[in-house]
């Protein structure tokens, strides 16, 4: 083999490696973006269910208006954060956690209203919201898995050199709030 052929083969292999590396990074980035979209779909579903829940509960809960107002405010804040392209993941996460906490409070308060708990419409909405919350958690785990894979790809050698040149940046993970990390206190 001539030196020119060897150089052409090495350059060809290098070009192929760059193409495969770039395509792999783009595939991983698109998977993270898809996972983000999955979360948004579930959050939209929750946003759509909350007004129905509030309307159902309103007639029964005459003394709990403050809880309903807080739920509506939390929904509005979460939707605003979700629709704000300049909001950080931490800001969106904080608003969503506040909404989740308010929903938990609402369901805890409904324990004082047996006729509400017996309402088929309320029970169906409660089940749908519970199912949606589970899907949001699954979507966040899926997102975190894709973020882990992408971040690993852009941090390992030699891909990190190419990723740096192409300006690929790390994604943030969804994380539990500090309050959610505490042990649950059970008292009898």
Q: The tokens of 26 are what?
A: 């783009």
Phi, psi at 170, each rounded to 5°: -65, 150
The pLDDT tens digits for 2-14 are 999 999 999 999 9
The pLDDT tens digits for 43-102 are 999 999 999 888 888 777 766 778 888 889 999 999 999 999 898 888 888 999 899 888
Instruction: List the domain boundaries for the chain.
Output: 45-166
- How many residues in the chain? 188
End-to-end, the C-alpha distance of the chain in Å comes to 83
The answer on pLDDT for 151 being more than 90 is yes
Q: What's the pTM? A: 0.77
Which of 145, 143, 162 is closest to 154 using CA atoms? Answer: 162
Question: Based on the number of CB atoms within 10 Å of its own CB, is 126 exposed (0-12), middle (13-18) or buried (19 or more)?
Answer: buried
Q: At what angle do helices 120-155 and 89-109 cross, to 10 degrees?
A: 160
Mean pLDDT of 147-161: 94
Determine the Cα angle at 187 with ends 97 and 128, to 5°.
Answer: 40
Confidence of residue 176 (pLDDT cuts 50, 70, 90): low
77-to-28, 57, 86, 89 alpha-carbon distances in Å:
31, 21, 14, 14
Q: What is the largest CA-CA distance in the chain?
A: 89
184-to-30, 100, 146, 180, 187 alpha-carbon distances in Å:
37, 17, 29, 9, 10
Determine contact, residues 32/147, Cβ cutoff 8 Å.
yes
Tokens 């150089």 locate to 7
Q: The tokens of 65 are what?
A: 């208006």
Which of 135, 131, 132, 66 is closest to 102 using CA atoms? Answer: 66
């Amino acid at each position: 083999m001539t030196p020119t052929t060897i150089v052409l083969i090495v350059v060809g292999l290098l070009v192929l490696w760059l193409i495969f590396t770039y395509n792999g990074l783009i595939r991983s980035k698109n998977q993270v973006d898809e996972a983000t979209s999955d979360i948004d779909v579930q959050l939209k579903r929750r946003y759509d269910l909350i007004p129905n829940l509030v309307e159902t509960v309103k007639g029964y809960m005459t003394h709990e208006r403050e809880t309903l107002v807080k739920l509506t405010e939390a929904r509005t804040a979460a939707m605003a954060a979700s629709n704000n392209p300049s909001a950080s993941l931490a800001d969106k996460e904080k608003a969503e956690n506040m909404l989740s906490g308010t929903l938990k409070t609402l369901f805890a308060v409904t324990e004082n209203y047996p006729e509400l708990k017996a309402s088929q419409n309320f029970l169906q909405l409660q089940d749908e919201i519970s199912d949606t919350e589970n899907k949001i958690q699954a979507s966040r785990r899926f997102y975190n898995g894709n973020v882990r894979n992408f971040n690993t790809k852009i941090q390992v050698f030699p891909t990190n050199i190419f990723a740096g040149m192409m300006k690929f940046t790390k994604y943030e993970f969804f994380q539990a709030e500090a309050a959610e990390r505490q042990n649950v206190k059970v008292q009898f």
